[in-house]
Structure 1
């Protein structure tokens, strides 16, 4: 069986794709998975970078929306002060990154659609909301790792290969913030 962490990332990335292709049969195990196995290596970023502005804006918006909503769900249940501080920071920082992407899009005279979670993001959010008080921190942190790996790949890829200067600049400014979040996650869960 593949690591649930890698399978969750695969589902997240597959849900972000424009083409509707069936998932490999092995992803069926993801339904049971809420936390990665201890010692699981981080998943590799996606091979192809997003280069068009519309796709980048949509994925960045969905990612920020997921971060904000998942963190609000965590705050409603968690008793862990450190995890709650992280969640509050996620709400603040991802609200700011949304504003940064919107401003860059406006500068380029591009429309910013209302963000919408993809199926994988919705599934992770539902799992956080369904987790009991004793398990919510572990579920939240596992999904935060998955989401931040995907966000880092998205922003790094667009900063390098994107097609719109103002958005490339915004993406490059968001990359160090996402990297700092990943470092904070590693401190919260030393098993990672």
Structure 2
């Protein structure tokens, strides 16, 4: 019993630094770029088919707002001396785009809203985390500026 008690704190000590550490500047730029790209691609896909005015309005705003946040992160990366690679979707985001492509009509709209909630929670955690724990000042400032916009999107999604 005593050995088990000793193993738990060790496991927690291993996990704790991973939770507290912000990504390296380049990793933050890549993750933020992937997040914005997913938002733009998924929203354009839904805009092509949705009949729901709320979904259409939200998706249009996503294309605009996430294009702006991409530009803001790229500019901050340049100030920080970080070369921002072209945004690339993560495997999970590619899977979600595939799910949207496979769905139609109201089913697609519902899948889009559910995905947006999940994606925005991750984006909020990324930006808030980097704003407080990041190491590159220009990127920290950009993340702090973007986080309230992402929170606003989450608040909107709650009413949809």
Partner SS for 2:86: coil
TM-score norm. by structure 1 comes to 0.72
Post-superposition Cα deviations, 1:157-189, rounded to whole Å, max 9, x if no partner, equal 00010010000000000010000000000011x
Compute the displacement of 1:50 (Å).
Answer: 2.7
Q: Which has the higher helix share?
A: 2
Q: RMSD over aligned Cα, in angstroms?
A: 1.2
Report the Cα distance in structure 2 between the residues aligned to 1:149 and 1:132, rounded to whole angstroms: 25
Q: Which one of the candidate residues 28, 51, 71 is aligned to 1:99?
A: 71
Contact 1:49 1:153 in 2 (8 A): no
Shift of 1:89: 0.1
Are 2:153 and 1:181 aligned?
yes
Matched, 1:152 2:127: no
CA distance in 2, matches of 1:49, 1:157: 8
Match of 2:83 in 1: 111
Q: SS of the counterpart of 2:106?
A: coil
Separation in 2 of the partners of 1:169 and 1:134?
A: 38
User: Which residue is 1:72 aligned to?
Assistant: 44
SS of match in other structure, 1:135 = helix
Q: Following TM superposition, where does structure 1 have runs of at least 4 consecutive aligned residues deviating by more than 6 angstroms?
A: none
Q: How far apart are residue 109 of structure 1 and its match?
A: 1.8
Q: 2 CA distance for matches of 1:54 and 1:140? A: 29
1:7-156 to 2 correspondence within 5 Å? 47-156=19-128
Deviation by residue 1:69-126 (Cα, 9 ceiling, x = unmatched): 0000101111001111000000000000000001101111210001111110000111
Q: Larger radius of gyration, structure 1 or 2?
A: 2
Paired positions, count: 143
How far, CA to CA, are the matches of 1:134 and 1:86 in structure 2?
15
State the TM-score, normalized to the length of structure 2. Answer: 0.86
